[in-house]
Amino acid sequence: MRKLSGQDAAFLYGETPNWHLHVSGLMIVDAANAPEGWTFERFREVLISRIPEVPQLRWRYVDVPFGIDRPSWVEDPDMNPDFHIRRIALPAPGGPKELGEVVGRLVSYKLDRSRPLWEAWCIEGLEGGRVAILQKMHHAIIDGASGAGLAEVLLDLEPTPRISATALRDEIIETRIPSQVELFLRGLASSAFRTPIRTAKFIRQSGFQLASAVPVLRGDQPVSLPLTAPRTVFNTDPTARREFASARVELARVKAVKDAFGVKLNDVVLAMCSTALRNYLLERDALPASTLIVSCPMSLRTEGNKDAVGNNLGSMFASLATDVADPAERLMRIHESTQSAKEMHKALAAHQIMSLTETTPPGLISLAARMYTSAGLASRTPPAATVVVSNVPGPPIPLYLAGGELKALYPMGPLLMGMSLNITALSIIDHLDFGLMACPDVVDELSSLARSIPEALEELEQAAEKMRAPAKKAAPAKKAAPAKKA
């Protein structure tokens, strides 16, 4: 048995009927040009052959009664891959609209908790002879960085897929699962002895962090803090329904803007999202006077634990400078804010021992999440941030799935705590793919918001061109030739 970390357990127990805490990824595969043809059967065979290499695909969780302690992962001896690998077809003509509707419906369904927490949907019938693969995995077993790494395990460097020599059943190790009484007694002992110690450490850590943060807060650059974002149309608790939309831009163009302004790639990504959100709210006469605040998940993985299973995440809060009309000035303001946020994150991380989730019993997290949603506190309390925007590095080389070349990979993050919009970007070879996830009962016309992202890049390119254009100097007047003597 493998006990979950506090953060992983929080994702598991923080889920409610409307907060679906699974993450998803939509892969677009060129099936028409697969050298040996592309079939669902071959895809199924390849995926099953990779399960021995990915232990979390074989895990199911064992709960502790009353949630008094963190649950554990165990190998599922009865795992049936065909329950997780599914097939569906799009209605004609199989374009972006039809794909978005099907993906939205599939993502709206929660994962079956009695089995390993993942699904893989093969979506056929896309225009152009393409196939889409939708992967759903619970956030309790992956974060953005490990999810991108997992996708690469399932893909190949060549059209001919490698087949693992290890059989799935050879990898599953049956573990004796303690009885509910044993689990309860163990959990009670853990809570009684470890929780007070963890709480004392957390309080001590928080004091040191507060002292470290004071110099940053007193610095010249303003720091964006959680719970300071203005309320917008995005800051309503989601229902159970989900909608998906996507956008794609050339990575070289994003890098050119980055270089022109001397900022980071993530700053340009945030500026594109900022412009899209600003225009969306302006069209609805709903843009707040103060700037929107973004929450950016940050991987806390180091070289020693970069391949570890589960989550190791923090958050960075920054201004989107939506109160600034000029796109160039907006980008520079965002850059200043992210630099301040990184300084704040660095100051807090210097004394990071544990997170609050390590001190809180999972059952209490579940109770708090349900009370928050049932009492409608999302509409009565300040939003933690306006929107979540993630930027994850993806594969820089061509990859293949069951013989078909991977053409696009759109990531999708969860919706939670009064934020009904999530934007995630992932770089793949020479493109940057944006996956937008929203609740259609809160955010209307998500596709128009997605279309604004490439338009925002064009604005930044135009601003960069103006900045690069040399100022025209007046040509110096020619000196008059000296008069000739008679």
β partners of residue 73: 2, 61
242 C-beta neighbours (distance < 10 Å), count: 26
**How many distinct helices (H) and strands (E) make up the chain?**
12, 15
CA 139 – CA 149 distance, rounded (Å): 14
Identify the active-site residue in 84, 139, 335, 345: 139
Give residues with Cβ within 8 angstroms of 16, minimum separation 6: 369, 370, 373
Burial of 202 (0-12, 13-18, 19+ CB in 10 A): middle
456-459 LR contacts (CB < 8 Å, sep 24+): 456/271, 456/272, 456/273, 456/274, 456/275, 456/276, 456/279, 456/327, 457/249, 457/253, 457/254, 457/257, 457/272, 459/275, 459/327
Strand order, beta sheet including 313-319? 243-250, 431-438, 421-428, 387-392, 293-299, 313-319
CB 423 within 8 Å of CB 386: no
CB 377 within 8 Å of CB 411: no
22 has catalytic annotation? no
**In the structure encoding, which two tokens stand for residue 139, read together?**
């956030």
Strand order, beta sheet including 118-124? 85-89, 118-124, 130-138, 22-30, 404-412, 400-401
Smallest Cα–Cα separation from 223: which of 113, 342, 326?
A: 342
**Which amino acid, 107?**
V
Q: Which residues carry out catalysis?
A: 139
